[in-house]
Amino acid sequence: MDKPMPAFYCCYLLRSTKMPTSLYIGSTPNPVRRLKQHNGTTQGGAFRTHKDTHRPWEMICMVHGFPSNIAALQFEWAWQNTCFTHHIPDEERITKPTRRKLKPIIDPEGILPPVERWKLVRPRYSIIQVLQTIHLLLRVNSFQNWPLHVKFFAPDVFKKWEKAKPKKISLREGIRVELDESKPPTDEDSTDEACPPPATGIHSLDVGYTALKSHLQKSRSILENGTMVACGVCERSLRPSKALVLVCPTEDCRSASHMACLSTKFLAAGNGNALIPTNGKCPDCKATLEWSSLVKELSLRTRAVEEVEAIITGKKSKTNLSEAEEVLAGLVPIAIHEEKDLGSDEDESDDGWILQEVGGVDEEFELGFPTGDDAILTTRPV
C-alpha cells in the first residue's frame, strides 16, 4: 500500500425525520457531503434513501477512527448484518435470522429426489438493538483493539445508548463515547456576517489532515535538520531514510523512536497478546500517545510529500487537497452491497442497508448470497 491513512472515515447511522422508525447504516470519508447526497440536495446518494417519503434524513450517530476504507467496510457490514457476520460468536448475537421455506427443486427427469430450499429472513430491528450492536462489535476480538470512537448527534439517541449498553460490561479503555452538545445557530447568529456562527454537529468534524500540521512541522524539524537523533527506546541512531520513525507530538518533547521499538514497548506495557498497540507512554516525556495518531502522521509524511508541503505552507498542491483526501479515504469500492449510488460514483463504496424497526418490512436474503460474511447454502433431499 503506497497511500497514507485516510484523514477520516466513519460508519454512520441515519434516521428518517418523517418516519423515525426507518434507519440506515452506511460509511463515508465525508459525512456532510454524504448526508447531502442522501437527502437529494447534491448528486449521488443511495437508492434505499432516495424516496421523498423518508427524506430528509438526519445523521444521529457514527463510529469513527477507521485506519482505512476497507476497515470501515468490514465494520459496516458486520453492523448491518449481525445475524450473518462471522465477527460475532453465535452465542452473543443480539438478533438471529429466521428460515423461510421455499418451493423445493424438482428434477424434471425424476431421477434425483426433490431438494429443499430455504431463505434467511433478516429480523426486524429496533434502534435499541442497533445501538447494542455497536457496543457488541467494539468488544469482539475483531474490532476491540481498533482506534475507534463513538459520537452521537441526537440527545434522545444518546439516552437510548445509555439505557441499552450493558451495565456490567464496559468498552476498552481509550474508546471515547461522546454526545455532540453544540446547538445550531439562531436566526440572529446567521445574520451576523462579521462574526459567522461556529460550525455545529457533523459540520464541525475535521475530515482533513490540518490537525496534523504541528506534528508534521515538528517531525520535519527533528528528522531533517542534519543533526543525529537517537531512538528513545533502543538509543541507536535513527536513519529516517532507511527506517520507519515515529515522533512524539507533545509540544516540548523531541523524542523520536523506531516504529518497531516503540511498538514493542507499548505492547509490553499494555496488552501483550495484541498484534498492534492502541496507546502507550512516550519514552521521554511520559505523555500518553495514541498509536493511530503516530502512524497516521508517519504514513502522511512518507507517502504524500506534496500534501505535507501543502499543509505546512498553506499552499495548494497540484492536486486539490480535499479531493485527494477523499480519494485516499475511499480508493477501492468493494462489491458487498446491493446498494448503488444514483448518478455518482464518488461514494460507490459507502452504501448501506435501510433497516426497518418493529412494524416495518423484513429484509430477506437467500442462502448463498455472494458476500464476504455470507450464509452457507444447505440443501438436502426432501
Domain extent listing, the chain: 10-207+331-366, 210-318
Q: What is the pLDDT of residue 355?
A: 52
Q: Which of 353, 347, 329, 337 shows the shortest CA–CA distance to 65?
A: 329
Could you give the CA distance from residue 236 to residue 238 in angstroms, rounded to a whole number?
6
Burial of 374 by CB count in 10 Å (0-12 exposed, 13-18 middle, 19+ buried)? middle
Architecture in CATH for domain 210-318: 2-Layer Sandwich (3.30)
Distance between CA atoms of 166 and 270, rounded to whole angstroms? 24
Q: What sign for the dihedral angle of Cα 302, 308, 312, 313?
A: positive
For 281-295, the pLDDT digits (tens) are 999 999 999 999 999
- Please give the pLDDT value at position 343: 45
Res. 94: pLDDT tops 50? yes
Q: What is the DSSP letter of 279?
A: E
Over the stretch 319-349, which tens digit does the pLDDT of each residue have? 444 444 443 443 333 223 334 455 443 454 4
CA distances 370 to 206, 337, 338, 340, 367, Å, are: 35, 9, 10, 16, 9
User: What does pLDDT average to over the chain?
Assistant: 83
Look at residue 189 in the predicted model and tell me its pLDDT: 59
Query: Which pLDDT value is given to residue 197?
Result: 77
pLDDT in tens, 176-190: 999 999 877 666 655
pLDDT at 369 over 90: no
Of 252-256, 307-311, 342-346, minimum mean pLDDT range = 342-346
